[in-house]
Amino acid sequence: MEWKSTAEVVIVGGGIIGVSTAYYLAKQGVKDIVLVEKGTICGGSTGRCGAGIRAQWGTEMNCRLGIAALDIFEQLDQELGMSVGLNQGGYLLVAYNEKELETLRNGMLLQNSLGIQSRMVTLTEAREICPGLAAEDAVGFFFHGRDGHADPFLTTFAYLEAAKRLGVTCYRNTACTGVIVRDNTVQGIETTNGKISAPIVINCAGAYAQIVARMAGIELPNWAERHEIMITEPVAPGVCPCMLMSFSGNYYIQQRPHGSIICGMSPQGHPEDFENKTTWQFIEAMSKTLVKLLPRTKGIRIARQWSGLYDMTPDAQPVIGETDVKNFYHSTGYSGHGFMLAPVAGKILAQHITGQKPDIDFSMLDYRRFSRGEHIRESNVV
Amino acid sequence: MSVTPENNEKVYVCRCEEVTLEEIDEWIDRGYDTVEELKRVLRVGMGPCQGRGCQDILMREIAKKTGKPISEVAPATVRPPVKPIKIGLLAEGGEE
């Protein structure tokens, strides 16, 4: 592929955030967009994620982004001309103590005030949604039927193929090695395959965004957190049709339409070494959780385990917007929720960059909120 | 050696996920010419056998279509467990 040494916009990162941003910018009429990816498209955190999609959040901004993303996901097959594997079995959130129940109830009231039809359900209803659910020790359940998941690979490739049709150039195996800044204004990037001059650069490097930011002298308080995950062999449907999730219980479990059950839990003491390593302790602990919650999973076989990196911020909300370096933008810090927010994240940043009013005012997601001490932590995270 | 049949029959490369040679060729033509990318877009090699049956065929097809020597076609990352293992067996393991 011929090397383009100039572009109108350069995007760093070929995960879901990078490709969706490229697509929406191209759709808004931006010509000459180049996306660089250090490995292969969808080869980082996007391709390793649990791929859940939900609007049941604890902060107003996450709720607004979550429901707007769902609206887009529901139309995405038509928009991109390829199936993204959307499946809306809902998210069933499980509370195990009074404090958590209160937090989730407050979240539900906030969600309802923003038009999200989440509701509290009884154990009986929870068992209709998720047959075979044990969870006798739970104190409450919350459900939102429009939540669900999509295929992270197909969604990313669908955005990529649509972006390519609109003229976006994509270089794989091309790592960003430097961000060129002059007079406090971005000028382009250096890569392992050469320089690209561009008046606008967008950092969509996920867990590596902190490193790319530093190349321009910008310090992000982000960190990379390793999370483990596993998937079973495909089995008949109905084992866990919804996403079953608990923040205090520390799990998320869901059967994909394909039949495999995918599940994960939060890490314990993994170092920030950017290694996607796996441990036997994880599959053992996860298996214990599965058998306790869904006893009939005990005869199902685990096919594969892996791990991926959450690009964490101190409040578990993303960093979207321009930086102290002019025309150097960020769309990062999704804290494990980049896949589900990507459609709206790409769209609103593209609207902002092309001088339109974004569907959602995201000015509070400026990275300087951390140094100003203005951030409020999202409670609903595993 | 050609593995393309003369009689319109489908050739299944990945039996676990039922991925055909035709689909693989189609996506290689679109530029998805690594094992990792084909795995992601087609699920080839993601079934219970974890690519034991199909990965060599897949690598050979990539080499054939891209003209690269097979030694330059990288296999997928090997992921544990080595063979599928029952959740119940793991849940019983160790001490509480």
Q: Where in chain A are the domains?
A: 9-48+153-221+315-372, 89-145+223-312
Cis peptide before B75 (omega within 30 of 0): no
C-alpha separations of B5 from A195, B8, B21, B30, B56 in Å: 46, 7, 10, 22, 19
When the pLDDT of each residue in chain A is averaged and rounded to a whole number, the result is 96
Q: How far apart are CA A316 and CA B8, in angstroms?
A: 53
Asked whether residue A14 carries a pLDDT value surpassing 70, the answer given is yes
Over range A139-156, report the average pLDDT.
97
Partner-chain contact B94 A284, CB within 8 Å: yes
Q: Chain B closest CA to A288's CA: distance in Å?
A: 4
Candidate CATH numbers 3.40.1360.10, 3.30.9.10, 1.10.3720.10, 3.30.565.10; the one for domain A89-145+223-312: 3.30.9.10
- E-strand ranges in chain A read 9-12, 33-36, 52-53, 91-95, 119-121, 140-144, 148-149, 169-171, 176-182, 185-191, 194-197, 200-203, 223-232, 243-246, 251-255, 261-265, 301-312, 319-322, 328-332
Over range A64-91, report the average pLDDT.
97
Asked whether residue A273 carries a pLDDT value surpassing 90, the answer given is no
A47–chain B Cβ distance below 8 A for any pair: yes
Nearest chain B residue to A260 by CA: give it.
B47
Q: Can you tell me the ipTM of this complex?
A: 0.90
Quote the radius of gyration of chain A (alpha carbons, Å): 20
User: How confident is the model over B39-64, as pLDDT tens digits?
Assistant: 999 999 999 899 998 999 999 999 99
Residue owning tokens 């400026």: A366
C-alpha separations of A2 from A19, A173, B29 in Å: 20, 14, 18
B40–chain A Cβ distance below 8 A for any pair: yes
> Given this model, what pLDDT does residue B94 score?
61
The CATH code for residues B12-92 is: 1.10.10.1100
Nearest chain A residue to B90 by CA: give it.
A284
Return all residues near A25 (Cβ < 8 A) that are at least 6 apart: A9, A33, A346, A350, A353, A354
- Successive 10-residue mean pLDDT values, chain B, 96 residues: 62 95 96 95 93 95 97 94 94 72
- Confirm or reject CATH 1.10.3720.10 for domain A9-48+153-221+315-372, answering yes or no: no
Task: List the single residue in B30, B36, B88 with the smallest CB-CB distance to A298.
Answer: B88
B94–chain A Cβ distance below 8 A for any pair: yes
The residues pairing with A309 across neighbouring beta strands, listed in sequence order, are A226
User: How confident is the model over A324-346, as pLDDT tens digits?
Assistant: 999 999 999 999 999 999 999 99
Asked whether residue A272 carries a pLDDT value surpassing 90, the answer given is no
Task: List the single residue in A40, A258, A298 with the smallest CB-CB distance to B86.
Answer: A298
Partner-chain contact A304 B80, CB within 8 Å: yes
Q: How far apart are CA A40 and CA A46, in angstroms?
A: 11
B81–chain A Cβ distance below 8 A for any pair: yes
